[in-house]
C-alpha cells in the first residue's frame, strides 16, 4: 500500500440523533368531543456505530469525511402513533481499530472481529406521549416528555495493524528489503534512515501452501517511547503482532547493545510487549565469510537468531522455518 493510501490515525466529530418528542394529543371524534389522551411516544435518535470490516486495511475513507451525523428521532403523534427511530450512521473500519477519547486518552473499545459493532455516540431516547401520564386522578394530562438530547464530540480512531510477525529495528536495518524479498510487497527502499514512513504488510509464502503476515514498521530510535523520531506513532502497531522479529545490521558497533536498546524502548512504551515471542535476525551478512560469521555468534544475545542477507537470499529459508516454528509453538 502506498504512503498516500495508508491512514492509521483519524480524529472525527460524531453527533448522534436526538430523541423525538412525545405527543400531547387528545382523541377528538365526531361523536366523542372529549376523548382521552392518545399522544404517542417519540422515536429514538440514531446511533453512530463503528463496525469491523475484514476487507479494509486503512482509515483513509474517513480522511475527508470527519463529521459523522446520525438522524434525529421523529416526534410522536396522535392516535398513539410512535415516531420512527432515527437512522443510525455506521462507520466501517479495519479490524484492530481502537476508539479513544481525545481529552482523557481513555480507550472506549476495540474492534477485533468482522461484523463486530460498537456504539461510538448513543442516540437520545424518545420522549413519552401524554398517554403514559394518564391516571385515575389525572385523566387529561396536558404534558408530554421531550426527547433526550444527542451526544456530540470528537473521537479518535487508531488502527493497530494485525500481523503475525512485526519487524523491529533501527532505521536502515534492512526491514523493508527483507519484506520485499520474502513477500510480494513493494515497500520504498533507499539507503537512508526513515525511508519507511508508514507500516507495510506482506504475505509470506511458506511450505505446503501455508503463509503468514509480516509487517514492516518504521524504524525505532533510542527515545522513541518518549516521542522521538516516529516511535510513539507506530509503536502501537507492535502490540497486535504475535511474534517480534528484531533486525540488527551485522555492521553494528555492538549487536547486543542495540538489541537491549530496542527491548528497552518497547518496555518503556508497554511492558506487556516483553511477553511476546522474539526472534533476532542479523542482516546484511553477505558482506562476511563463514569464518567471520562464526566469530560473530559470540556477540549475539541469547535469543533464537539467524544470520541473513535479503539481497543474496542467505538464510532466508532458515529464517522462515524459525518464524513458523515460533508462531506455532
Residue 219: strand, helix, or coil:
coil
SS3 content of the chain, % helix, strand, coil (to 5): 20, 25, 50
The residue written with cell numbers 401520564 in the block is 133
pLDDT of residue 185: 60
Query: Per this entry, what is the length of the chain?
Result: 329
- Alpha-carbon distance of 36 to 15, in angstroms, equals 37
Give the C-alpha distances (Å, rounded to integers) separating 76 from 16, 41, 89, 298: 19, 5, 22, 79
For the stretch 278-327, pLDDT in tens is: 999 988 888 777 777 777 777 788 888 888 888 888 888 999 999 999 98
Helices (H), 209-248: 231-238
How many structural domains is the chain composed of?
A: 2
Tens digits of per-residue pLDDT, 61-86?
A: 898 888 999 999 999 998 999 999 99
Instruction: Give CA–CA dist 77/326, Å, rounded.
Output: 65
68 vs 178: which has the higher pLDDT: 68
Asked whether 184 and 178 are in contact (CB, 8 A), the reply is: no
pLDDT at residue 233, as a whole number = 60
234 pLDDT more than 70: no
Contact 39, 25 (CB under 8 A): yes
pLDDT band at 30 (very low <50, low <70, confident <90, very high): confident
Assign 189 a pLDDT band (cuts: 50, 70, 90).
very low
Average of per-residue pLDDT across 144-157 = 95
- Confidence check: pLDDT of 109 > 60: yes
Question: What's the confidence (pLDDT) of residue 197?
Answer: 53
Asked if 150 and 167 sit in the same domain, the reply is: no
- Structural domain that includes position 305: 163-327
Q: Which residue has the cell 435518535?
A: 45
Query: What is the pTM (predicted TM-score) of this model?
Result: 0.70
Same domain assignment for residues 171 and 297: yes
Instruction: Indicate which CATH number applies to the domain containing 304.
Output: 3.40.50.300
Domain identity same for 177 and 153:
no
Structure-model confidence comparison of residues 190 and 41, the more confident one: 41
C-alpha cell at 319: 529464517
Pick the more confident residue, 176 or 126. 126
The answer to whether residues 44 and 123 touch, using CB atoms and an 8 Å cutoff, is yes
Which of 130, 159, 188 delimits the end of a domain? Answer: 159
> pLDDT tier at 219 (50, 70, 90 boundaries)?
low
What DSSP element (H or E) covers 281? strand 277-283
Beta strands 107-111; 97-100: pairing state: antiparallel
Amino acid at each position: 500500500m502506498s504512503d498516500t493510501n495508508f491512514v492509521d490515525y483519524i480524529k472525527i466529530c460524531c453527533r448522534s440523533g436526538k430523541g423525538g418528542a412525545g405527543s400531547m394529543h387528545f382523541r377528538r371524534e365526531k361523536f366523542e368531543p372529549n376523548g382521552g389522551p392518545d399522544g404517542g411516544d417519540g422515536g429514538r435518535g440514531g446511533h453512530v456505530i463503528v463496525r469491523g470490516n475484514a476487507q479494509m486495511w486503512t482509515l483513509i475513507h474517513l480522511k475527508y469525511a470527519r463529521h459523522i451525523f446520525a438522524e434525529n428521532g421523529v416526534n410522536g403523534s396522535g392516535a398513539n402513533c410512535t415516531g420512527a427511530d432515527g437512522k443510525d450512521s455506521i462507520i466501517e473500519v479495519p479490524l484492530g481499530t481502537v476508539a479513544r477519547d481525545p481529552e482523557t486518552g481513555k480507550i472506549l473499545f476495540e474492534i477485533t472481529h468482522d461484523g463486530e459493532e460498537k456504539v461510538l455516540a448513543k442516540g437520545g431516547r424518545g420522549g413519552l406521549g401524554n398517554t403514559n401520564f394518564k391516571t385515575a386522578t389525572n385523566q387529561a394530562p396536558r404534558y408530554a416528555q421531550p426527547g433526550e438530547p444527542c451526544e456530540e464530540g470528537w473521537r479518535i480512531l487508531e488502527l493497530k495493524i494485525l500481523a503475525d510477525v512485526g519487524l523491529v529495528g533501527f532505521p536502515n536495518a534492512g526491514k523493508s528489503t527483507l519484506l520485499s524479498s520474502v513477500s510480494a510487497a513493494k515497500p520504498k527502499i533507499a539507503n537512508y534512515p526513515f525511508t519507511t514512513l508508514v507500516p507495510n504488510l506482506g504475505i509470506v509464502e511458506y511450505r505446503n501452501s501455508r503463509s503468514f503476515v509480516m509487517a514492516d514498521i518504521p524504524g525505532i530510535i533510542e527515545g522513541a517511547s518518549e516521542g522521538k523520531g516516529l516511535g510513539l506513532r507506530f509503536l502501537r502497531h507492535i502490540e497486535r503482532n504475535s511474534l517480534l522479529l528484531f533486525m540488527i545490521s551485522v555492521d553494528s558497533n555492538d549487536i547486543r547493545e542495540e538489541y537491549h536498546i530496542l527491548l528497552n524502548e518497547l518496555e518503556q512504551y508497554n511492558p506487556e510487549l516483553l511477553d511476546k515471542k522474539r526472534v533476532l535476525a542479523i542482516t546484511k551478512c553477505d558482506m562476511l565469510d563463514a569464518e567471520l560469521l562464526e566469530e560473530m555468534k559470540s556477540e549475539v544475545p541469547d535469543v533464537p537468531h539467524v544470520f541473513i542477507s535479503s539481497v543474496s537470499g542467505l538464510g532466508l529459508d532458515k529464517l522462515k522455518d524459525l518464524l513458523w516454528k515460533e508462531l506455532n509453538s
